């Protein structure tokens, strides 16, 4: 069956650029937007991000629309989550049916959606990832995985990668070295950091200038061995460090990391919140691309297509030992039927409609288009990614790799004005990177439309350093 692709029924984005027209709000729309913004400024708590200027009132397929009627291609899938698009009719039907008949249960009760999802998920994973349970967020699943590793090993030290992002709960935050660590006193004890695998900026170089990730990784472990008190339990890692600016683990890195863990009797936890379920052109980046079976795999974001759903998957052996040692992660929404039904439907759609293959093909098209832009504009320092998960880093000077956050913001604003949303990460540790991760139902036409918008934004923004 062909992928269920959702084209925009109304707007040809390429013509929109050429004619330089956009949806103009009427006075009533503007008044409503202003009223909503006033409520936001008075009533919302800031939770660590600046709020975007627009109030989004509608989503459909690959598009989001603000209160004034401005419609844009969503190239971040919401918060990197709407894998099969906003408002997918089968997802809507699944939510409706389970909201009506089987929504939420006592946490010790089981239901068919939970059992179906556990069976479908583990059936597409290799031996060693045999059992699963389901929670609400990625941070929660990583918290559970870290606790499971501690209970299984009887040890407590956890290793994370520099610039990682695993969540904001205590143990997940302790292994997170990108943002959110300051202002709250001591963090969880026993946490250690490996150098961030940043091929573009790392100081570890071979004689020919290429990235020497093996020396960097070995050096990082030598520091951890000296700092450790002898209780190393696990290492947690993302296959692509998204919050760090879409940095892909070098080929061979994950296998080497697994060896380091095995040498120290540690578990390897792989966090595939964003890379899982086909996003990177493979069903799972760790297992299907890298050929590494984690001791514990965590999923979230893409599994629920935007609904709060996450998973922890591990082996029969680890589950058995943890159960014997009274592992507990009992929450209000553990194994809830409604989100589990959605996760099961997401997996069904991805496998049935060959969306992994679509992600691989459209990802190739996307990356080729971004590399063409790099050849045309000197402000693009690096293009990186895998499948439909790409990063575009904006710099003021290619040789010096100097950050250019103001220029990146100007390009971002123009892109949004022309009809494309691609999240610009402007935090100091990002150095101005567009994080691009559209729904994997995206069509070739929609990729071309987005690339056309990007090129126009670079063309009309001052300081982008045209090379033609």
Point out the residues that are catalytic. Answer: 165, 238, 271, 274, 301, 435
The half-sphere exposure of 16 on its side-chain side, counting CA atoms within 13 A, is 24
Chain position carrying tokens 């919140």: 273
Q: How far is CA 206 from CA 145, 200, 211, in A?
A: 36, 13, 6
Nearest partner of 422 among 433, 410, 407, judged by Cα: 433
Q: 41: which residues sit within 8 A by CB, 6+ positions away?
A: none
The pair of three-digit structure tokens given for residue 193, joined into one six-digit string = 């950091």
| Strand ranges in 300-444 using DSSP code E only, listed in sequence order | 310-314, 380-385, 390-397, 402-403, 420-421, 423-425, 433-436
DSSP 154-223: S--EEEEEBT----SSHHHHHT-BSS--SSSS---TTEEEEPP--TTT-S-B-TTS-B-HHHHHHHHHHH
Give me the helices (H) in 11-111, please: 13-19, 27-43, 77-80, 89-101
């Amino acid at each position: 069956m062909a992928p269920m692709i959702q084209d925009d029924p109304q707007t040809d984005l390429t013509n929109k650029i050429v004619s330089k027209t956009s949806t103009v709000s009427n006075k009533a729309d503007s008044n409503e937007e202003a009223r909503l913004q006033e409520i936001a400024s008075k009533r919302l708590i800031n939770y660590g991000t600046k709020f975007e200027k627009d109030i989004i009132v509608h989503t459909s397929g690959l598009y989001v629309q603000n209160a004034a009627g401005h419609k844009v291609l969503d190239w971040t899938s919401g918060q990197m989550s709407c894998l099969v698009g906003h408002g997918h009719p089968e997802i809507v039907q699944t939510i409706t049916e389970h909201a009506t008949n089987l929504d939420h249960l006592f946490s010790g009760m089981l239901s068919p959606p939970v059992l179906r999802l556990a069976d479908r998920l583990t059936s597409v994973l290799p031996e060693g990832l045999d059992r699963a349970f389901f929670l609400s967020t990625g941070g929660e699943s990583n918290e559970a995985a870290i606790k499971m590793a501690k209970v299984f090993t009887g040890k407590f030290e956890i290793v994370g990668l520099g610039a990682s992002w695993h969540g904001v709960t205590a143990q997940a935050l302790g292994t997170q070295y990108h943002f959110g660590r300051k202002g709250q006193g001591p963090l969880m004890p026993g946490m250690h950091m490996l150098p961030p695998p940043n091929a573009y900026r790392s100081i570890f170089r071979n004689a020919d200038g290429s990235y020497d990730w093996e020396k960097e990784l070995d050096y990082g472990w030598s520091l951890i061995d000296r700092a450790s008190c002898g209780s190393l339990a696990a290492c947690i890692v993302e296959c692509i460090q998204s919050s760090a600016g879409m940095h892909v683990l070098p080929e061979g890195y994950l296998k080497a990391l697994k060896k380091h863990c095995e040498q120290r009797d540690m578990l390897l936890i792989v966090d595939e919140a964003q890379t899982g379920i086909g996003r990177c052109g493979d069903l799972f980046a760790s297992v299907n691309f890298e050929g590494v079976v984690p001791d514990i795999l965590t999923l979230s974001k893409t599994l629920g297509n935007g609904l709060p759903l996450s998973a922890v998957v591990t082996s029969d052996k680890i589950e058995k030992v943890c159960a014997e040692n009274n592992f507990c992660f009992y929450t209000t929404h553990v194994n809830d039927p409604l989100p589990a039904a959605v996760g099961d439907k997401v997996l069904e759609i991805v496998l049935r409609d060959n969306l992994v293959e679509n992600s691989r093909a459209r990802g190739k098209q996307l990356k080729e288009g971004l590399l063409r832009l790099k050849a045309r504009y000197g402000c693009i320092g690096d293009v990186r990614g895998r499948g439909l998960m790409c990063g575009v880093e904006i710099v003021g000077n290619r040789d010096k790799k100097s950050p250019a956050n103001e220029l990146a913001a100007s390009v971002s604003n123009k892109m949004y004005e022309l009809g494309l949303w691609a999240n610009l990460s402007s935090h100091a540790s990002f150095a101005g990177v567009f994080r691009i991760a559209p729904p994997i139902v995206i069509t070739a036409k929609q990729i071309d439309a987005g690339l056309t918008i990007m090129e126009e934004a670079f063309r009309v923004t001052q300081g982008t350093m045209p090379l033609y």
